[in-house]
Amino acid sequence: MSRHKGLFICFIGIDGSGKTTQARALDLALKEDGIRSRYVWNRFEPGLTRPLVAVGRKLFLRRKDIYRDYDGYFATKRRLFGNRFLSSSYRCLLWLDCLYQTTLKIGLPLARGETVICDRYLYDTVADIAVESSYSEAQVRTAVYRYLTLMPRPDLMFLIDLPEETAFRRKTDIPAIDYLARRRQAYLYMSREKEMVLLDGTSSPDEIKKVVMSKVKELCQAR
Ligand code: ADP
């Protein structure tokens, strides 16, 4: 049961999966139908976490280049996240940043009755944390549950899944295939939640859009 008037629909998945393509297409289709819809690019932006991230980069990651040596970069980051104090402080500030950004970008438009089409949501942030902290499936689920505290719950969530090799070929700014492979695993853990709609990212954009539109139609009829 939704607690807001407008619909809240999210697209999540690895880079290159087609989230922006589908989110923009849905936003346009809803607008053409006369629905007050808003596309929101919701990649996490550091706020309170910024000083901690800056210090961490300067002290530990200064000589690491994610594009030239992804394995070395990843190993250092994982060691940092192995420090319980650092990782708990970081996660706590991260949640506050997410809460602030989510309230502004998503909570307010929803409260005004707009439909929000979100390109990335908290699940994507959890996927990043899961990779850096080597979470198991149970830990990923617990993190999702905790991070959603006080955040709007999506009415519909689409996870676009595809082989990491295919996604890697679609973009030029992805550090490494492993970067995608590790995140894909975290998303697949989340996809076992019953309310998530799994889309085949290897289908054509039009085919995916057809499935999206039919799910949105079903949701509108059910409300
Ligand atoms: P994301 O937002 O998930 O990073 P994008 O929507 O930006 O992905 O898509 C990345 C690239 O892949 C773009 O060039 C886009 O045109 C292309 N693309 C998106 N969806 C598909 C698809 N289903 N099949 C083939 N190419 C796609």
Dihedral of the alpha carbons of 130, 101, 193, 19, in degrees to the nearest 10? -90
Task: List, for the chain, all residue ranges whose pLDDT scores fall below the cut of 50.
Answer: 1-2
Cβ-Cβ contacts under 8 Å for 206 (sequence gap 6 or more): none
Q: What residues line ligand 1, using a CB cutoff of 6 Å?
A: 13, 15-21, 170-171, 201, 203-205, 208
Task: Give the Å distance between the CA of 170 and the centre of ligand 1.
Answer: 7
Number of residues that this document lists for the chain: 223
For the CA of 207, the nearest atom of ligand 1: 23
Rg (CA), the chain: 18
Q: Which backbone phi and psi does 6 adopt, to 5 degrees? A: -75, 160
Q: For position 27, what pLDDT does the model report?
A: 98
Atom of ligand 1 nearest to the CA of 24: 6
Q: What is the pTM of this model?
A: 0.91
Closest listed residue to residue 211, CA positions, set 44, 70, 62, 25? 25
Joined tokens for residue 177: 């295939």
Shortest CA distance to 103 belongs to which of 54, 53, 47?
A: 47
pLDDT of residue 2: 46
| Interval between CA 130 and ligand 1 midpoint (Å) | 24
- Give me the pLDDT at residue 4, please: 57
Instruction: Taking each helix axis as running N to C, give the angle between helix 70-81 and helix 122-132, from 0 to 180 degrees, rounded to the nearest 10.
Output: 90
Inter-residue contact 26 to 209 (CB < 8 Å)? yes
Residue whose CA is closest, atom 11 of ligand 1? Answer: 170
- Which CB contacts under 8 angstroms, 24+ apart, belong to 129-136? 129/91, 129/94, 130/183, 130/186, 130/189, 131/182, 131/183, 131/186, 132/77, 132/78, 132/81, 133/78, 133/81, 133/87, 134/78, 135/186
Distance from Cα 16 to the centre of ligand 1, integer Å: 5
